[in-house]
Amino acid sequence: MNKKLLAVAIASAFAAPMAALADEGNVTLSGNLSASIVSAETEGGDRATDVSPGGSDMSISGWESLGNGLKAVFLLKSWVNVTGNPGGGSGSGLLFGNNKDAYLGLSGSFGTVALGAHGQPYKTATGGLELFGDTIGDARGSVTNGGGAFHSGIGDALIWFLPNMNGFSGHLQYGAENGVDGGANPWGAQVNYSNGPLYATYAHADNDAGLDGNKVGVGYSFGDTTINGVIESTDTSGGDDVTAYSLGLAQKFGANTVKIQYAGNDSDPDDQSLWAIGLDHAMSKRTKVFALYADGDNLGTGGFDDGFEVGMAHSF
């Protein structure tokens, strides 16, 4: 038999079962890695220089076809400490850190229903609107998201990702009492609309311990320009409402993107704020280098005051 024909026959013999397997399920490895040098000063403290892993993470996700449009789905996502000290018995030497998101569930025309842990809807609704995510310029853990109170996940939770319907989508999440009678049942919800250059979202959060919040976020891109805005109101039982906001602008110039963002709130006893300016340079579709300067005000004793950050990020 001709060698070329033999090669084609062998390839076809293997391709058929592999195609059938692909129809029955899939497992994907993905992640986001970051490493940066940070020189920052805290309020009332000294300047210190460190190497930071930012929001580095790694995910294993997959699905299996169960027939009739139903799938079993799972996600395992962990923090990755790409800059930690090697070896030793301390936690700083661990490559994989705490659980970030993890669930097991079913997916179909109703969306995805799962049990596990995931970033709460209040946090994830505007995650894509933060221009300086997981850097010293990130306002979500200090100024917005309830002063960081809602910048977290909900574990031991029932999770429902609603299906996309003409641009509308949603996410509901309810946390159990962790086996403690009378324990808190935090919950949250988000409703999103995405259509081309426009993204809009509304989110609500309640920690079942006297704190709740509502926020609206909008992002719009035209040409090489993107404008993002978020406004929120959080309320503590027996306390005053706190209004927080952020406004960001990103402008592309070829492989470079200039970004600037300001966030503030009217918390007691002093208003808090954080602004940042930075530059991203894309080396490819998945790799970039970045530099930024950020300055905070009234973020508390020991809180961030000002600093510089220079680093590299890669996704896979």
Per residue in 31-85, pLDDT (tens digit) is 999 999 999 998 777 899 999 999 999 999 999 999 999 999 999 999 999 887 6
Q: Are 250 and 268 in contact (CB under 8 A)?
A: no
Mean pLDDT to the nearest integer, 224-234 = 97
Q: Is 216's pLDDT higher than 80?
A: yes
Alpha carbons 293 and 278: distance in angstroms, whole number: 6
pLDDT score for 15 = 46
pLDDT score for 242 = 93
Domain spans of the chain?
25-315
pLDDT score for 217 = 98
The model's pTM: 0.85
Reported confidence tier of residue 20, pLDDT bands at 50, 70, 90: very low
Reported confidence tier of residue 236, pLDDT bands at 50, 70, 90: confident
The residues that bridge with 31 in the sheet, in sequence order, are 58
Per residue in 89-137, pLDDT (tens digit) is 444 567 887 789 999 999 999 999 999 999 999 999 999 999 999 999 9
Reported confidence tier of residue 22, pLDDT bands at 50, 70, 90: very low
CA-to-CA separations, 61 to 71, 102, 232, 293, 314, in angstroms, rounded: 13, 9, 32, 35, 19
- Ranges of beta strands (E only) in 166-206 are 168-175, 187-195, 198-206
Reported confidence tier of residue 186, pLDDT bands at 50, 70, 90: very high
Ramachandran category for residue 111: left, alpha or beta (phi over 0 → left; psi -120 to 50 → alpha): left
Q: Provide the residue type at 141 as one letter.
A: G
**Token pair of 46 as six digits:** 């000294």
Q: Are 150 and 175 in contact (CB under 8 A)?
A: no
Instruction: Give me the helices (H) in the chain, please.
Output: 3-24, 121-124
- Residue with tokens 């936690």, as numbered in its chain: 91
Reported confidence tier of residue 203, pLDDT bands at 50, 70, 90: very high
Q: Are 280 and 265 in contact (CB under 8 A)?
A: no
- Closest among 202, 255, 217, 243 to 130, alpha carbons compared: 217
Q: What is the CATH number of domain 25-315?
A: 2.40.160.10
Percent of the chain with pLDDT over 70: 86
